[in-house]
Chain A
Amino acid sequence: MYATLRHADYESRSAVLDNSENVRETDRSVFQRMVATDEELVARSRDGDVDSFNQLVLRWERPIYALAYRVIGRDEDARDVAQETFLRAFRALPGFKGQAKFSSWIYRIALNLCRDWIRRKKRQPVVEMPEGVDIVELAAEQGATESIEDLVARQEMSRIVAEGMTLLPEEQRTAIVLKEYHGLTFQEIADLQGCPLSTVKTRLYQGLTVLRRHLESRGMTSYQSEKES
């Protein structure tokens, strides 16, 4: 019973505070779980260790959410996609034999869900900007390293980039997101997208070229200066 185990864990923690050996033992197991590789955690999860799977979730939830957000462009829907990704992964874990990396496997699940979302909604992703953002507060959070002007410029740039990404077909957008923000190799992207290596390179080139034109049309200074020079 998972919830009960959690409470038992707390009780044992509080009960053995005076017993340094036990405390060390508990810490050691927690630490071992934290430093374990994905493959080790997957193996433990397959043996029924839910905590190990939750450690994998903790490790991968932000990249998966970021991937979903950049592909579909909506915060709430990206959360739903990320949640569904881990749910499906957990259910499919007995069938995962380690033939691919855990990250590749979970990326594939997330991308399939993103593709389903786009097909189901039959629409392009939107540029969703958070409302009610106080620039001054944001600047304060950033500390002294970034001025308000810089922050505003960065936000504007972020908006223009997001806008440009919506112009791309889903395959090009996904290829760029996987390459730029997740650092996957051409071969890994080809495996995930189920296409030849050359197609991945073509998608990246075409996508970057469309983005370049979009940024130029929005008067991005670096290109203006490029032309002037």
Chain B
Amino acid sequence: MSSFNCDDKQTLIAYLYDEVDTGTRERVDAHLAACPRCAAEVRALGDVRLELSQWAPPDAELGFAVVRNSTRESEQRTADVLRPARWWQTVPAWAQAAAAILVLAAGAAIANIQVRSGPDGFTVSTGWMPVPVPVAPAPSEPFDGAAIERRVEGLEQQLRSEIKSAREPEAVRAAAAPADEATIRRVRQLLEASEQRQKQELAFRLTQFASEMDVLRRADAHRMTRGLVQFDEQMFRQQQLLNNIVRISGTPQQ
């Protein structure tokens, strides 16, 4: 049987990790007893291994799970999502919904949104401007026919003078009319485009929100299942423990 060589580091490392056969172990033991340098090296490497055990990864909450996407069920193994449990996923969906409502309520309070119903239907107002107070009708005056006739005549004169003045720049306005129409058409197009964009944006946001809520709901469901599984396991152990206790208590004393 050949003796161990100081330069045989491969055998030394195998000895350190206890992956050697009995014969090799005995040879290395014999060598270490006689060679202080190799003995010190083995002790030092053993200490390094001891220190390595101090290095632990963070106690991260993982909770990965495969969640099958129901919209692409027919496709094989392409519609599966793994989601890690990040901090926002550990908050239940109901709490997130409550937080969203709270934020909306706070926003509404800051914007001072007010909704009123009245004879003219619902009125929505925002901001901190004073709310217009409905003007009460003036108390009725005694009927005076001559006064009314004078006011009507005055109004007629005013109307005539306005019509006259309006007819004078007719030519100028007629020339400007096509340009105005083009502008109006353009403004209308812009408004329609803007409206369309807003609709699309709203639809996109709603779809995104629904999708996120769906995924969160599934993640919650999975977490609950895990909890149930753990609970089941505990129950099973307790049941076993109880069975053991019952069995032991039923055994007659020697």
Contact = CB atoms under 8 A, between A and B. Distances in A.
Interface in B42-78: 43-45, 47-49, 51-58, 60, 62-68, 70, 73, 77-78
B112 to A, nearest CB: 39
A13 B47 CA distance: 53
A107 interface: no
Interface string A1-39: 111101101100100000000000001001100100000
A102 interface: no
Interface residues of A, number: 63
Interface in A198-225: 198, 201-202, 204-205, 208-209, 211-212, 215, 220, 222-223
Contacts of B222: 6, 54
B67 to A, nearest CB: 6
A176 interface: yes
Interface stretch (A108-116, A118-126, A154-162): A154-162
A90 B77 contact: yes
Interface in B215-254: 217-218, 221-222, 224-226, 228-229, 232-233, 235-236
Contacts of A154: 54
Contact of A202 (B10, B66, B70): B10
Contact of B47 (A6, A82, A179, A223): A223
B4 to A, nearest CB: 15
Contact of A157 (B54, B68, B214, B224): B54
Given A7-B221, A86-B66, 11 more contacts: A3-B67, A30-B232, A75-B60, A83-B82, A86-B82, A157-B51, A180-B52, A180-B53, A201-B14, A215-B48, A223-B47
B57 A69 contact: yes
A90 B54 CA distance: 33
Nearest to B71: A1
The 7 A-B pairs of least Cβ separation, nearest first, read A2-B68, A69-B57, A161-B55, A201-B10, A157-B54, A1-B70, A6-B221
A186 B47 CA distance: 20
A49 B236 CA distance: 23
A47 B91 CA distance: 33
B128 interface: no
Contact of B232 (A2, A31, A212): A31
A148 interface: no
Contacts of A161: 51-52, 54-55
A1 B68 contact: yes
B79 to A, nearest CB: 9
Given A2-B70, A180-B52, A223 B44 contact: yes
Contacts of B10: 198, 201-202, 205
Nearest to A33: B229
A83 B64 contact: yes
B101 interface: no
B236 to A, nearest CB: 6
